[in-house]
Amino acid sequence: MTHTMWSLYNVLPKQSVQKPHRHNSVAIDLAVSADPNTYTMIAKEIDEAGNLIDPFRAEWKPNSVFVTPPGWWHSHHNESDVDAYVFPVQDAGLQTYLRTLDIQFIKD
**pLDDT of the residue at 7:** 82
Domains in the chain (CATH in brackets) are 6-105 (2.60.120.10)
Q: What is the pLDDT along the chain (108 residues), one digit of tens a residue?
A: 566 777 889 999 999 999 999 988 889 999 999 999 999 999 999 999 999 999 999 999 999 999 999 999 999 999 999 999 999 998 766 666 667 666 677 876
- Rounded Cα gap, residues 5 and 28, in angstroms: 11
**pLDDT of the residue at 24:** 82
What's the longest Cα–Cα distance across the chain? 40
pTM of the model: 0.86
**pLDDT of the residue at 91:** 78
- Listed in sequence order, the residues at least 6 apart from 35 whose beta carbon sits closer than 8 Å to its beta carbon are 80, 81, 82, 84
**pLDDT of the residue at 61:** 97
- Rounded Cα gap, residues 22 and 73, in angstroms: 5
- Rounded Cα gap, residues 81 and 16, in angstroms: 10
